[in-house]
Amino acid sequence: MALENAAYLAQQLDRVLIMPPITTNSHDKHNSNQRWSDFFDLPKFTELTGVRVVEWNDVRPMTAEQIEVGRAQVRMGKKSYEPWEAIAEDLPCQIIYGFGDSERLHTTELTFARQFLFRPRFIRPPPRNPKTIVHDRHKIGAKDNLNMDDIVTIEDLVGRYEDAADHLLFLSHSYKLKDPSGRQSWFKVGQYFHFRAHVLAFASELIQTRAPQTKGPSMRYIAIHLRRGDIWQKCRQETMEERMACLTPLSYYAEVVDKVRASLGQDMPVIVTTDSDSEEDFKTMEELKWARLDHASYSTESRLGIFGPAMVDAVILAEADVMVGTYVSSMSRVAARRQKSWHDRVALYPQTRRV
């Protein structure tokens, strides 16, 4: 979603999108900084959206020695590292959603700066465009930022920077930006990030291996995204009923599968993408004869890179005849949008609120 918002901003501001590598402290412990172009067809994206794209690795190429210095600083965290201090550069960075000012940077953002040898020098945004609508922060889901001078919406950012003379706009944050007009970022750019052929082929091969009954022209299957891991943190302050949307029991997913099979056929296979490490979950899936994907046992990472497993899961969810998601999961929501935009299908979710 951060990439989608950034691409939409580039389109609205008529600027070239400099696309950073995929950076995350939770999935990539080795700081491999894999390119988005390993998975998405960027020339096709530019053709469909008009957004010109270059990748960070090409704009700021680094020597093997510089890469190692960056990785060493990542490992050391806040501790001063003389080789890093000697070659790191200052880079002006626009404060968005308060990040770099009232909001502390996340570990992922700090890792990115340390790895690529720069010190962000934060700059407050210019005044708001008088024509920009000022929204109630509570109504647009931005109650975590009540500083009215901070940029929290896409339209506010565009209004403040549409006439900016800066050669480079380096934004401190894009993920949490709100779009009160109704997720135009998806319709204008997000849906046009199409997977490359070799990623689709790998996913197809894996589907047929785990669910042989899909072999043939139809390849009909149900895909479940069972989000576990740290998802509970999104609901830790909610009611018990609302927490069910975060850690939904497998029996609720099974109810959805039963309804789908009653309509489309009892032999329709189920493929599960999940980050669960629960032996109880695994046992239940086995009893239900659902095919759980376990990328640690496959060649996914060796063939596609550190983010290959997540991207293959995304393909399998997007291309399923029926997708059952986890309501509070960003990955499920993006997969549901792909289902609707690419295939005119509506994703399903377990019914956690009992009448």
Give residue-wise pLDDT tens across range 47-62: 999 999 999 999 989 9
The residue among 95, 28, 93, 23 whose CA lies nearest residue 56 is 23
Predicted confidence at residue 216, as pLDDT, reads 72
pLDDT tens-digit readout, 59-89: 989 999 999 999 999 999 999 999 999 999 9
Q: What is the mean pLDDT of the segment spanning 251-272? A: 95
Q: Which helix H or strand E contains 123, and what residues bound it?
A: strand 118-123
Alpha-carbon radius of gyration of the chain: 22
Predicted confidence at residue 238, as pLDDT, reads 62
Predicted confidence at residue 228, as pLDDT, reads 81
pLDDT tens-digit readout, 293-332: 999 999 999 999 999 999 999 999 999 999 999 988 889 9
Angle subtended by helix axes 279-288 and 250-264, to nearest 10:
20
Residue 355 — very low, low, confident or very high, per pLDDT cuts 50/70/90?
very low
For residues 140 and 128, give the distance between their C-alpha atoms in angstroms, rounded to a whole number. Answer: 18
For residues 7 and 315, give the distance between their C-alpha atoms in angstroms, rounded to a whole number. Answer: 21
The residue among 3, 2, 12 whose CA lies nearest residue 188 is 12
pLDDT tens-digit readout, 135-186: 999 999 999 998 999 999 999 999 999 999 889 999 999 999 999 988 899 9
Q: Are residues 228 and 277 in contact, defined by beta-carbon separation less than 8 angstroms? A: yes
Predicted confidence at residue 45, as pLDDT, reads 98
Contacts of 188 (CB under 8 A, 6+ apart): 8, 11, 49
9, pLDDT greater than 70: yes
Cα 211 from chain centre: 27
Predicted confidence at residue 290, as pLDDT, reads 96
For residues 317 and 311, give the distance between their C-alpha atoms in angstroms, rounded to a whole number. Answer: 10
25, pLDDT greater than 70: no
Strand segments, DSSP code E, in 141-266 are 222-226
Residue 33 — very low, low, confident or very high, per pLDDT cuts 50/70/90?
confident
Query: Which domains, from first to last, does the chain contain?
Result: 2-192 (no CATH), 197-343 (3.40.50.11350)
Q: Which helix H or strand E contains 56, and what residues bound it?
A: helix 56-59
Q: Which helix H or strand E contains 17, and what residues bound it?
A: strand 17-19
Predicted confidence at residue 123, as pLDDT, reads 95
- What is the DSSP annotation of 252-314? HHHHHHHHHHHHH-TT--EEEEE----HHHHHHHHHHT-EE--GGGSSHHHHH-TTHHHHHHH
pLDDT tens-digit readout, 205-226: 999 999 888 877 777 999 999 9
Cα 181 from chain centre: 21
For residues 235 and 246, give the distance between their C-alpha atoms in angstroms, rounded to a whole number. Answer: 6
